[in-house]
A and B are shown apart, each in its own frame.
Chain A
Amino acid sequence: MVPLGRVSATAAAVVAANLQALLGLNTLVVRPWPEPSPCLVPTRGQYDASLILRELAPEGESGALRLGLINHDLCLSFLTFVFGEAQLGGRAAVVSLHRLQDLDDGSRAPQALFLERLAKVGLHETAHVLGLPHCRAPGCLMRFSGGLAELDRLGLEFCPACQGRLAVGRARIRRGDVRAPFGSGPGLG
Chain B
Amino acid sequence: MNARLRVLLVDDELAMRESLAAWLRQDGHQVTKAAGGLEALAELERQEFDLALVDIKMPGMDGLELLRRVKDAHPDTLVVIITAYGSIESAVEAMKAGASDYLLKPFDPEHLMLLLEKMARQRDLLRENSALRQRLNEGECIGFAGLVGQSPAMRAVFGQIEDAAPALAPVLITGETGTGKEMVARAIHNQGPRAFAPFVTINCGAVTETLLESELFGHERGAFTGAVKARRGRLEMADGGTLFLDEVGEISQKMQVALLRVLEEKRFQRVGGNQYLASDFRLISATNRDLPALIQQGRFRQDFFYRINVLAIAIPPLRERVEDIIPLAEHFLAYFAAQTGKANLVLDSRAQRALRAYPWPGNVRELRNVIERAVIVAQGSSVGLDKLTFLSPLPEADSSAMTLAEVELAHIRRVLKSQGGSVSATAGVLGIDRSTLSRKLKKAGLEPS
Contact = CB atoms under 8 A, between A and B. Distances in A.
Residue from B16, B26, B429 whose CB has the most chain A CB atoms within 10 Å: B26
A39 interface: no
Interface string A111-140: 000000000000000001000011110000
B106 A86 contact: no
B23 A144 contact: no
Contact of A75 (B18, B20, B28, B106): B106
Interface stretch (A26-34, A42-50, A169-177): A42-50
Given A134-B28, A146-B110, A77 B16 contact: yes
A102 B420 contact: yes
B42 interface: no
B425 A79 contact: no
A14 interface: no
Interface string A170-188: 0000000000000000000
B429 A88 contact: no
Contacts of A79: 23, 106-109, 112
B33 to A, nearest CB: 14
A11 interface: no
A146 B108 contact: yes
Contacts of A78: 16, 19-20, 23, 82, 105-107
B26 A44 contact: no
Q: What's the dominant secondary structure at chain B's contact region?
A: helix
B10 to A, nearest CB: 14
Contacts of B112: 79, 146
Interface string B417-446: 011110011001101000000000000000
Nearest to A48: B19
Given A43-B428, A44-B425, A76-B19, A133 B25 contact: yes
B108 A80 contact: yes
A73 B415 CA distance: 14
B19 A50 contact: yes
Contacts of A44: 425, 428-429
B418 A76 contact: no
Contacts of A76: 19-20, 23, 106
Nearest to B13: A77
Contacts of B156: none
B428 A80 contact: no
Contacts of A24: none
Given A50-B19, A146-B113, A80 B106 contact: yes
Contact of B415 (A80, A87, A147): A80
Residue from A42, A46, A146 whose CB has the most chain B CB atoms within 10 Å: A146
B28 A45 contact: no
Contacts of B27: 133-134, 144
Nearest to A147: B110
B15 interface: yes
B26 A80 contact: no
Interface string A42-84: 1111100010000000000000000000000001111111100
B410 interface: no
B22 A50 contact: yes
Interface in A77-109: 77-82, 86-88, 102, 106
A134 B428 contact: no
Contacts of B3: 136
Contacts of A128: 26
A36 to B, nearest CB: 16
Nearest to A136: B3
A144 B420 contact: no
A133 B24 CA distance: 9
B115 to A, nearest CB: 11
Nearest to A133: B28
Interface string A137-180: 00000001011000000000000000000000000000000000
A144 B27 CA distance: 8
Interface in B394-431: 414-415, 418-421, 424-425, 428-429, 431
10 contacts: A43-B429, A43-B431, A77-B105, A106-B421, A133-B27, A133-B28, A134-B26, A144-B109, A146-B108, A146-B109
Given A43-B431, A77-B19, A80-B414, 8 more contacts: A45-B424, A50-B15, A75-B429, A79-B107, A79-B108, A80-B109, A133-B28, A146-B113
